[in-house]
Amino acid sequence: SQQGEEDPQALSIQEGENATMNCSYKTSINNLQWYRQNSGRGLVHLILIRSNEREKHSGRLRVTLDTSKKSSSLLITASRAADTASYFCATEAYGQNFVFGPGTRLSVLP
Amino acid sequence: EPEVTQTPSHQVTQMGQEVILRCVPISNHLYFYWYRQILGQKVEFLVSFYNNEISEKSEIFDDQFSVERPDGSNFTLKIRSTKLEDSAMYFCASRGTGVSGNTIYFGEGSWLTVV
């Protein structure tokens, strides 16, 4: 299975701190994407990183991809209470569909 | 920004009833998907659809489920004879082609509660 696995399962930090979430997968992938989900809401696309890319930035978000270790990390800098959500990585292998990991529940405390 | 829209946002149905969940993908997108998320669990792939036919389906997507693109804009998921364990959030998604085709855009989801 190409399934992504995030860790930690849950993360609680203070507002202003950085939050780092990791994702590991098993097979070679075409790309990896991170999504955010507020409780009971839809999946919001954050960043896509392709297999030939190592790092991407978007605002306070920084994603890295290490294909040799089959892992990715999502860093949220200067976290805010509004960042409280579940974060999922989803991997896409060639010829296969998106597979989501179980997610990391991030709580940012004011 | 264009978005995927889903209706209804929440539906409560009696066990054994049929349910149709509707989705309007982003216009000019050609690939469509349904995913499911049981409360507190991960997002699971159900089915993908391209060129008016199913391109891939998971083991969850059995004969109880069907998808249809009845016109140029809607994409529906039908669940026949619903069971309690069908209670979940159902997400529709779509993607385009070319350089922008890698990103899959999801709707807000339809909460289905089977009682």
Q: Cβ of A45 under 8 Å from any chain B Cβ?
A: yes
CB contact under 8 A, B109 and A42: yes
pLDDT at residue B99, as a whole number: 61
Q: Which of B2-6, B9-13, B16-20 has the lowest mean pLDDT?
A: B2-6
Q: Cβ of B31 under 8 Å from any chain A Cβ?
A: no
pLDDT at residue B101, as a whole number: 66
Tens-place pLDDT, residues A50-95:
999 999 999 999 999 999 999 999 999 999 999 999 999 999 887 7
Query: Widest CA span of chain A, in angstroms?
Result: 43
Tens-place pLDDT, residues B42-89:
899 999 999 889 999 999 999 999 999 988 789 999 999 999 999 999
Q: Identify the DSSP state of B102.
A: G
Q: Which amino acid is at A64?
A: T
CB contact under 8 A, A40 and B41: no
Residues of chain B found within 8 Å of residue A88, distances taken between Cβ atoms = 42-43
Tens-place pLDDT, residues A23-53:
999 889 999 999 999 988 889 999 999 999 9
pLDDT at residue A97, as a whole number: 78
| Residue positions counted in chain B | 115
pLDDT at residue A2, as a whole number: 52
Give the minimum alpha-carbon distance from A102 to chain B in angstroms, rounded to a whole number: 5
Q: Cβ of B24 under 8 Å from any chain A Cβ?
A: no
Q: Cβ of A34 under 8 Å from any chain B Cβ?
A: no
As a whole number of angstroms, the distance between CA B26 and CA B24 comes to: 7
Which class for B71: exposed (0-12), middle (13-18), buried (19 or more C-beta within 10 A)?
exposed
Whether the link from the prior residue into B8 is cis, omega within 30° of 0, is: yes
For residue A71, give both structure tokens.
């892992």
